A = this chain, B = another copy of it.
C-alpha cells in the first residue's frame, strides 16, 4: 500500500484499499480485522468516533426492547459464525439492522464470512471518503481505529498511509 501511495484522489485510494482487502489480506487477516469491531449497538464510551457517527441513525431509532433484541441476536450470531455481526450501519435504523441480522443469521458460514468482509469494505470506503472530504475532522480516536485495516503481510496500513499523505 505504501508503494501505491500517495493517492491521486479518492478513487485511487479506494481502488488500492479494495485490492488489498479482497486480494491480498488472507482469511486470518479478515478475522483479525473483524475482531477489532465492537458489537453493533454498543454504547460504551470506548467506541470510536467513526462508529458513533455511523451508528447515529441506529441510536436515534433504538428503543429499550430493540436494543435488548439486538444484544441477544448479536450473541446468537457470534455463537454461530465465530465473529461479530458486521454491517455498514450508516443511515440505517435499529429495526432495519435487526431485520438484516436475522436474515443473515440463516446464511452458511462461508457465505456470511464474505458478506461480512464486504460490509467491512463499505465501512472502510465511507471512512476514506470522510478523510478525503474533511481531513481536519480527523480526531485522535479516529486514527486509533486505523490499525484495524493493517495487514501483517503487507506490513502496512491502508488508511494510515493514506492519512499520512492526505493530512501532512
Binding site for B on A (CB under 8 A): 22-31, 79-83, 108-110, 113-114, 117, 153
Residues of B close to A114: CB separation below 8 A: 110
- Report yes or no: B31 in contact with A81, Cβ–Cβ below 8 A: no
- Report yes or no: A23 in contact with B113, Cβ–Cβ below 8 A: no
**Closest residue on chain B to residue A25 by CB atoms:** B109
- Report yes or no: A108 in contact with B27, Cβ–Cβ below 8 A: no
- Report yes or no: B31 in contact with A28, Cβ–Cβ below 8 A: yes
Residue among A28, A29, A79 facing the most chain B CB atoms (10 A cut-off): A28
- Report yes or no: B82 in contact with A27, Cβ–Cβ below 8 A: yes
Residues of B close to A29: CB separation below 8 A: 82
Residues of B close to A117: CB separation below 8 A: 110
- Report yes or no: A108 in contact with B23, Cβ–Cβ below 8 A: yes
The one of B23, B28, B79, B81 that contacts A82, using a Cβ cutoff of 8 Å: B28
A-B contact pairs, 8 of them (CB 8 A): A22-B108, A22-B109, A22-B110, A27-B83, A27-B110, A27-B113, A29-B82, A30-B109
- Report yes or no: A27 in contact with B26, Cβ–Cβ below 8 A: no
- Report yes or no: B23 in contact with A81, Cβ–Cβ below 8 A: no
